[in-house]
Amino acid sequence: MKGKIESLRQAFEAELGQTATSEAVEKLRVAYLGKKGSVTELLKGLKGAGADQKKELGQHINQLKRQVEERLAQQVETIKAAEIQREIDAAEVYDVTLPTGGESGSYHPITIVQRQLEEIFASMGFIVEDFKEIVTDYECFEAVNIPKDHPARDMQDTYYLENGQLLKTHTSAAQNAILRKYGAPVRAIFPGRCFRNEATDASHENTFFQMEGIMVDKNISISNLIYFMKTMLSQVFERDVKVRLRPGFFPFVEPGFELDISCLICGGEGCSTCHHSGWVELCPCGMIHPNVLKAGGVDPEEYTGFAFGLGLTRLVMMKYGVKDIRDLNSGNLKALSQFRHE
């Protein structure tokens, strides 16, 4: 019997050495340890043996059983490791630090124009500030002279949060923080994403970008405002564009203006982008209201300033001839990848 146990051990080792897959190992387990397996049969064969023999041979057979179990488990691990190694060897090896050979990504046209504007204004002594998108009612409205229940609030259909804060409806929401941070004199621009609960059309989105600018100093006048607006537009468009200034009401400026640009999609003829008027509202502006300066800790007796709220998304539409504002938020790579080389 002992000889049989030993030869079974040797046969098992030989067969185990031939297994190359988990399935083959499982087959071997059944052949040795299954209900009718060789080791199980050996144990069954002990039934007729005497008590002493049973004890001694039983120990040997159980030792063989444990050994078979352990060796099977080891073999499964070895096969798994070999499979992983094969997959690694077969995988395409590439160096992630190398430049891509094919198509590369590109900046969004809004980012491209925003950076151009930042450079233009930085060259004229303006600092560039960032601001949050979730703001307080005070920052967005009260600090810019729009108290609670003021009808001007209706012009900006606002997304309120449950905690009373809101999604910034205009970049003017940063004016107060910037005046408080820098005091006067100051020249700053602050681009940002704005949100309004608007029905969308070719020139309106519920999520769009503005770029606000303020300049506060002694003796700042409308002439300074017009100079900076003209310089900015001629540099962005790199050509003469027709603009018009008309009175506009915003509680945070006095006087206030609407600066419109002749629609560059239709050449001023009228189209869906300009609502068939030939003009696109681009950059409302005006002289900062004394209440806004006061709220920002600046003495309006000593300082004056101008502010503008450029519709950055619309400026991008005009610059690149994008007829529908919704294309800019669409994630449409065919449309957006045209700006790859800008």
- Interatomic CA distance for residues 169 and 188, integer angstroms: 19
Distance in Å, CB of 91 to ligand FA5, minimum: 47
| Shortest Cβ 80–ligand FA5 spacing (Å) | 57
Nearer to ligand FA5 (CB atom), residue 65 or residue 294:
294
216 vs 307, beta carbon nearer ligand FA5: 307
Q: Rg (Cα) of the chain, in Å, rounded?
A: 38
Query: What does each C-alpha distance from 298 to 293, 295, 309 come to in angstroms?
Result: 5, 7, 20
Q: Which is nearer to ligand FA5, 109 or 309 (CB)?
A: 309
- Rounded to the nearest whole angstrom, what is the least distance from the CB of residue 309 to ligand FA5 in the complex? 2
- List C-alpha distances in Å: 42 to 14, 59, 61: 19, 12, 7
- Give kind and range of the element (H or E) at residue 55: helix 51-90
Residue nearest to ligand FA5 (CB): 311
Name 297's Cβ contacts closer than 8 Å, sequence gap at least 6: 179, 180, 183
Query: Residue 204 Cβ, how far from ligand FA5 at the closest point, in Å?
Result: 4
- In whole angstroms, how close is the CB of 214 to ligand FA5 at the nearest point? 8
Helix or strand holding residue 292 (H, E): helix 290-295
Beta-bridge partner residues of 253: 288
Contacting residues toward ligand FA5, per CB under 6 A: 170, 172, 196, 198, 204-205, 208, 210, 212, 250, 253, 256, 281-282, 284-286, 307-309, 311, 313-314, 325
Q: Which one, 70 or 201, has the nearer CB to ligand FA5?
A: 201
Smaller CB separation from ligand FA5, 75 or 210: 210
The span from the CA of 206 to the CA of 169, in Å, is 10
